[in-house]
Amino acid sequence: MRKLLSACFLLWSLAAISHAQFGSFTDTPIEIQADGETRFVGGVAVAEDNVQIHYAGTDIYTDYAEYNPETREVLLLGNIRIYHEGRILTGQRAVYNLESKKIRALDFEGGDQIIKFSTLSLQAPTLKEFRPRALTLTTSDSSEPDYRVKAKAARIYPDDRVILSNATLYVGETPVFWFPYLYAPLGKTGWKIQPGYNSTWGAFLLLGYRFPLTSKTDAMARFDYRSERGVGVGIDLSANYGPKNLSSGNFRAYYANDTNPGTNDTAFDRSDVPSSDRFMVNFQNRLVANEDVYATTDINSISDQYFLEDYYPGEFLRDPQPDNNLSLNWLTESFQFNLLTRWQMNNWQEVTSRLPEFSWTAKQTRLFGLPIFYDGSTRLGYLRKQYPSGQQPQYITQLQEAVFRPGLMDLNTGILNGYDAFRFDTFHQFSYPRTYFGWLSLIPKAGFRGTYYDRTGNSTLVSLGESTGGGTFRPVFNIGLEGSFKLSAVYEKPQSRFFGLDGIKHVIQPFFNYAYVNNAGTAANEILQFDQLVPSTILPSLNFPQFTAIDSLDTSNILRLGVRNRLLTRRDNDTFEWFAWETFGDINFDNPYQQDAGSLSNLYNNILFSPVPWMGVGLATQVPLTEQGFTDFNTYVTWQPARDFSFMVFQRYIESNPYFQDDSIAGATAYWRINDNWAASAGATYDFTYSTTQTQRYMLHRDLSSWLLSAGFLVTDNRATFGGTTSGDVSVGFLLMLTLKDAPQINLPLAFDVLGAQQNQQQRGY
């Protein structure tokens, strides 16, 4: 018995040593395991052979370890691997503090899913900051990286940025660039170098260098040279601040000394040539006080109306007239309050200024627990319509002559005088949604809108803004009825792996929307227009408050009829929309918003067919039902018939629209992966109306392991014909782009891109 007790005690002791758990300085125990000898020497735990240490989300593996419970430090020797929050550190000799996460190491490597580094010596105050010496850094995950950066000193913040001193970029074994100091935010770009050529700029080189201005503010200094336009300089700032960094701001200032301000390759004549001193200052800010209260600011001061078109063509296409406004917002569970100030900062812009305008909006809410719902809005403010100062630009006159049919609109080529008025508008609506017979959904609604103007005036272009009287109050009443029901049928026989079918459920939903509006006050053509209906190929909403053209409101009586068809199938344990088709149109008993509207609107069809991820078809059409209608077709097809080849074909066609010029455009883009190293892409758009190839783009792509190099040409035909006269030029550009393939959000330390490439792709929808 005595020998048996002795043997049990020995086994228990060995197990305790080889699988030890130490009382922790926190509530989490420290676990040390080893295959070899484990012992205590002077209060220090020693473990050898396949040592494993686990503590609070940190896992350590090594050949030899010594743990001191007093200092919380672990001495690690041989084949060290430290795993922490998705990062791995490897090396041969290190001292690691389990409590502070501080590391002192020699011959060490580390990284995460994006960045990898190796160093001869390393100090890390925490696992979120590394201070290596003699550093080699790369984002390539190859065992033999095709590029790397060597630096004598560095600071690495894996979640934020990398700062290098005395660094050299190597491609293979060849040094190609030296940086005395390099700051590279992860997910952003440190150095930006954008070379290229196009007909408007000539040869150009755009340089940007990003650096930290404060702990929460990034800055990028810019220096650009264009052989045909001269030098440009600028500064970009971006910051997050406030509680939880919910507030953000962006500032941009850019100045160009334009050596050829009269250069114009577009088809629109420029009535006034800008000066050589051209600039832009932008400031956008979102200040968040709490979850319910915030303020936004958008300020854009631009030297002339052609600046964006000449220097930022991509931004010009998205928003040729940037806004200037200040908005204060307060959100509650049922209401939204807004105070908006909007003004004309640039005298070449057309702006509806609000100086200021207050609005209150009520979300659709059940009224006093009854099955009746209420929604409404009230707004009041001083409004001013402001046109560009001086003579109306000549290109506007040319566009009007080409686009608008004779007699549709009187042209005024003189100075357009603005107008102003105080406006108070309030709208209140009640609805009673209910389902009848278990299948018929009906929503009757009734509303009232009252609008007061302290001044009335003629809204035609000839006598624009001329006062016709004093103040007026316009009462408007609306009633409406929406209804729909659904029918469905299930078919299990359709089964096709090729077309992604696992049974079909057909859902058909007929619907209607009737809206009657009675203007019991002043007619719309006698009211100064601030929020007016803009001509469009899309039917305006029949519902309030979705219909926002307050000043264009007039008596109307419209019935919209339609039907929705959907084919649903099973896929990935879910319901997938395989095919959708919506058809609708309006019966215009009285429609004041369309020129020659007729008794029937166009017949609209929207079709979406996406059976499998490698194929998609979209179709949006309008066909006339009366002589006053017009034709509009917008289609696209995307298809990947083979693993290495894909293409898209699209088409745009419009004819006999009273507001838009007849045109027919088609285009295609394609991508071909030739082999593992090479690929080619091309795209073009062709205008059948003028027999002109609008854009052509041809690119060749080379896979450089972790980088993708793309080079090619872009040709844009800016010529157009107005009034029988053709003007504009054909521009040619050379594109060069170098993209980090595995992590395209990182361009470290160089990012080669051609400004014209991205922006022309945005222009043409590539």
Give the pair of three-digit tokens for residue 206.
Answer: 């755009």
pLDDT over 90 (residue 477): yes
- Establish if 614 belongs to a structural domain: no
Least confident of 39-48, 95-104, 182-191, 482-491: 182-191
- Establish if 87 belongs to a structural domain: yes
**pLDDT (tens digit per residue) in 12-36:** 333 333 344 444 444 567 888 888 8
Task: Yes or no: say if 382 and 372 are a contact pair by the CB < 8 Å rule.
Answer: no
pLDDT at 152: 86
Distance of CA 305 to CAs 259, 348, 351, 491, 752, Å? 17, 6, 13, 59, 30
Higher per-residue confidence, 391 vs 216: 216
Residue 626's closest CA among 584, 583, 587, 581?
587
User: Which CATH number do you get for residue 25?
Assistant: 2.60.450
Q: What value does the mean pLDDT take over residues 190-212?
A: 79
- Establish if 39 belongs to a structural domain: yes
Rounded to 5°, the CA angle 292-293-299 comes to 135
Give the pair of three-digit tokens for residue 717.
Answer: 């035909």
Sequence-distant (6+) residues with CB within 8 A of 571 are 500, 502
Sequence-distant (6+) residues with CB within 8 A of 177 are 168, 169, 749, 750
Domain count, the chain: 1
Question: Quick one: what percent of the chain has pLDDT higher than 90?
Answer: 40
Task: Yes or no: say if 746 and 187 are a contact pair by the CB < 8 Å rule.
Answer: yes
- Establish if 29 belongs to a structural domain: yes
**pLDDT (tens digit per residue) in 614-633:** 999 999 999 998 888 899 99
Q: Is the peptide bond before 185 cis (omega within 30 degrees of 0)?
A: no
Task: Yes or no: say if 112 and 82 are a contact pair by the CB < 8 Å rule.
Answer: no
- Establish if 557 belongs to a structural domain: no
Residue 306 has what DSSP assignment?
Answer: T
Task: Yes or no: say if 540 and 558 are a contact pair by the CB < 8 Å rule.
Answer: no
What's the gap between Cα 607 and its chain centre? 25
**What mean pLDDT value characterizes the chain?**
82
What confidence category does residue 761 fall into, taking pLDDT thresholds of 50, 70 and 90? very low
Counting beta carbons within 10 angstroms of the beta carbon of residue 479, is it exposed (0 to 12), middle (13 to 18) or buried (19 or more)?
middle
What CA–CA distance (Å, rounded) separates 107 from 89? 11
User: Which H or E element spans position 354?
Assistant: strand 351-366
Q: What value does the mean pLDDT take over residues 228-233?
A: 94
pLDDT at 131: 84
Q: Is the peptide bond before 749 cis (omega within 30 degrees of 0)?
A: yes
Give the pair of three-digit tokens for residue 426.
Answer: 């309030």
- Establish if 337 belongs to a structural domain: no
What confidence category does residue 661 fall into, taking pLDDT thresholds of 50, 70 and 90? confident
What CA–CA distance (Å, rounded) separates 179 from 167? 5
Question: Which three-class secondary structure state does DSSP give residue 766?
Answer: coil
Q: Within 10 A of 108 (CB to CB), how many other CB atoms are there?
A: 24
Question: Which three-class secondary structure state does DSSP give residue 309?
Answer: helix
Residue 41's domain spans which residues?
1-101
- Establish if 560 belongs to a structural domain: no
Task: Yes or no: say if 308 and 315 are a contact pair by the CB < 8 Å rule.
Answer: yes
CA dihedral 585, 587, 593, 594 (to 10 degrees): 70
**Where are any strands of DSSP class E within 538-630?**
556-571, 574-590, 603-612, 615-623
Q: What value does the mean pLDDT take over residues 545-550?
A: 90
What CA–CA distance (Å, rounded) separates 125 from 626? 77
What CA–CA distance (Å, rounded) separates 491 from 642? 30
Least confident of 90-94, 307-311, 438-442, 447-451: 90-94
Residue 461's closest CA among 417, 500, 498?
417
Q: Within 10 A of 677 (CB to CB), how many other CB atoms are there?
A: 11
313 phi, psi to nearest 5 deg: -60, -30
Q: Is the peptide bond before 393 cis (omega within 30 degrees of 0)?
A: no
Q: What value does the mean pLDDT take over residues 465-484?
A: 86
630 phi, psi to nearest 5 deg: -140, 170
- Establish if 669 belongs to a structural domain: no
Least confident of 72-86, 386-400, 737-751: 737-751
Task: Yes or no: say if 684 and 667 are a contact pair by the CB < 8 Å rule.
Answer: yes
pLDDT at 467: 56
